[in-house]
Amino acid sequence: MNLTLNIWRQKNNVDKGGFREYKVSDISKDMSFLEMLDVLNEQLAEKGEDPVHFDHDCREGICGMCSLYINGKPHGPLQTTTCQLHMRSFKDGETITIEPWRAKAFPVMKDLVVDRSAFDRIIQAGGYVSVNTGGVPDANEIPIPKRIADEAFDAATCIGCGACVAACKNASAMLFTSAKVSQLAMLPQGQVERKERAEKMIAQMDAEGFGACTNTGACEAECPKGISITNIARMNREYFSAVVSSENV
Amino acid sequence: MSWVSKTLNSTLGRKLMMALTGLFLIIFLLGHVSGNTLLFKNDGGEAFNIYAKFMTTNPAVKILSYLTYISVIAHVVYSIILTKYNKSARPVAYANSKASTNSSWNSRNMGILGTIILIFLAVHLQGFWYKMHWGDMPVVSYGGEQYKDLYTIVNFAFQSELLVALYVVAMGFLGLHLSHGFQSAFQTLGLNHVKYSPAIQKLGLAFSIIVPALFASMPIYIYFINMN
């Protein structure tokens, strides 16, 4: 495959940045999207040019590190992570536009790399549970109905990649935050901090500068893990009931 | 800041205000469209004029109408605050965005739809509501009692093709706004449930088609009865 790549290049987080066009040839359709970028970067390195910076880690679709807004969609045309996207999803001779996630809360650090530590701070604000010290508790000591366990697990499959923020017209982090609130609110272990968690995580989400939700459903449609917006409704319930009943004046 | 103002200034609190005022306005639309069907009664406007007097003088209706004014204003104010806030959350736009592949056009353009509806509302209120309250109105009497003849005003206004067209088009936009807004309000309130959400979505779709269509049929009906 021969491709034209229109890639966002930006030296650092104060540089204005802009698109640059690159040509790559003899790309196998069985390559992953990131391997195709590796080929480009080898070419650039040989020429002594600065390679295109992009985030990646496990390349197995489980770590949430890869990003990229490819041809107008987060993680490209399929509902998967960029590392699991293959070149067979593109046509020979196609021009592919590659942009970083765009959100005030995700500042661009270099080229296609954005700082997603805002997500870490939302987790730090309340995405944890209290655990007693002492001996290791027995597995399955606390009875949890299978349906609840499955639902909590579905929410917990969120890998925090930020595709929801990238897809949302308001750069809202509601899908991410709601998945993290939900996975703990549904389980007995999450009850201790339940109210505090909803209030603190949402306050942090707002403080980071993520937008509000318009219920367009774009996040759910683009999420590589298929996190449902029913989690957003649950988060809203958690939040409203927390603010009216907590002792946090 | 107290916990109340802190909540109402949070993204979720602002969305809550949009949902509550929106749902109240949906109830208002239901009342408004039901009452206005009296325009279809072939009695020279008697039932409609009696209804119009009741709607402008009954104390309970007055309280509801003030709640409606407050809801309209709050819905507009909160939407401006939210739109500005949401725009600031993405200072650099995408060069290439295929939003149409993951969401509906109306869900992404509620602000534009709302603005069109607001402009229509100004024209609509000026034409009937303002005249009924403070304008120079013809008077009719039924059974010895005096009534402002709003029916004649309505009847005269909808002989203009331009006004009829404006009303019909505006109702199209209202339908688009409602088709997202109705079910979105329930989602914001956290009312998403496997048992009820499919029904809410169907009800919302039906409401967003039937109510604007009924409203639009009124100027069309009046236009055609005056042609004969």
Distance CA B95, CA A6 (A): 10
Contact criterion met (CB < 8 Å) for A99 and B189: no
Picking from B10, B91, B107, the nearest residue to A206 by CB comes out as B10
Claim to verify: residue A128 and residue A104 sit in the same structural domain: no
The structural domain count of chain A equals 2
| The pLDDT of residue B227 | 87
Segments in chain B below pLDDT 50: none
SS3 B1: coil
Q: Which two tokens stand for residue A125?
A: 């604000």
Give me the pLDDT at residue A141, please: 87
Whether B167 maps to a domain, the answer reads yes
Please check whether residue A71 is in contact with residue B97, taking contact to mean a CB–CB distance below 8 angstroms. Answer: no
Q: Which residues of A touch B92 (CB under 8 A)?
A: 102
Give the three-state DSSP class for A172. Answer: strand
How far is C-alpha B69 from the geometric centre of its chain's CA atoms? 11
Judge: B12–A211 Cβ closer than 8 Å, yes or no.
Answer: no
**pLDDT per position as a tens digit, B52-86:** 999 999 999 999 999 999 999 999 999 999 999 99
ipTM of the complex, rounded to two decimals: 0.93
Q: Is A105 on the interface with B (CB under 8 A)?
A: yes
Look at A212 and B110 and tell me if their CB atoms are within 8 Å.
Answer: no
**Helix segments in B89-196, DSSP class H:** 105-108, 110-124, 130-134, 150-157, 161-188
Q: Is A79 near chain B, with CB under 8 Å? A: no
Interface test with B, best of A13, A148, A227, A243 (most B CBs within 10 A): A243
pLDDT computed for residue A249 by the predictor: 81
Angle at A111 between CA A106 and CA A116, to 5 degrees: 20
Same domain, A106 and A125: no
Contact B89 A104 (CB under 8 A): yes
A248–chain B Cβ distance below 8 A for any pair: yes
Distance from CA of A135 to the nearest CA of B (A): 39
Compute the nearest-CA separation of A103 from chain B (Å).
Answer: 5
Residue A73 sits in the same domain as residue A160: no
Count the domains in chain B: 1
Give the domain-ending residue among A62, A87, A110.
A110
Query: In degrees rounded to 5, what are phi and psi of residue A211?
Result: -75, 180
Three-state DSSP class for A97? strand
Q: Are A212 and B14 a contacting pair, CB within 8 Å?
A: yes
> What is the reported pLDDT for A140?
85
Q: Locate tokens 């505006």: which residue? A: B170
Closest by alpha carbon to A206, among B147, B44, B210, B13? Answer: B13
Q: Which of A110, A140, A172 is the last residue of a domain?
A: A110
Let me know whether A135 and A74 are in one domain.
no
User: DSSP string spanning B194-209?
Assistant: TTTHHHHHHHHHHHHH
Domain housing A227: 116-245
Same domain for A123 and A178, yes or no, is: yes
Q: What DSSP designation does B21 have? A: H
**Phi/psi at A112 (5° precision):** -105, 5
Weakly modelled stretches of chain A, pLDDT under 50: none
B87, closest residue in chain A (CA to CA): A170
A206 and A133 in one domain? yes
Provide the sign of the torsion angle of the four alpha carbons A77, A78, A83, A84, taken in this order: negative
Residue B81: CATH number of its domain: 1.20.1300.10
Interface residue A171 vs chain B (CB under 8 A): yes
**Judgement on whether residues A188 and A241 belong to the same structural domain of the protein:** yes
Answer yes or no: do A177 and A80 share one domain: no
- Nearest chain B CA: its distance from A132 CA (Å): 31
A55, A147: one domain: no
3-state secondary structure of B190: coil
Q: Which chain A residue has the Cα nearest residue B2?
A: A249
Answer for the pair A41, A53: CB distance below 8 angstroms, yes or no: no
Structural domain boundaries enclosing B162? 3-87+107-227
Determine the pLDDT at residue A136: 86
Q: Which of A110, A135, A150 is the last residue of a domain?
A: A110
Residues A121, A142, single domain; the answer is: yes
Residue A143 and residue A105 share a domain: no
Give the pLDDT confidence of B155-175 residue by residue, as tens digits. 999 999 999 999 999 999 999
pTM of the model: 0.94
Asked if residue B223 belongs to a domain, the reply is: yes
Mean pLDDT of chain B: 96
**Residues A164, A211: one domain?**
yes
Cα A249 to Cα A245: distance, rounded to the nearest angstrom:
10
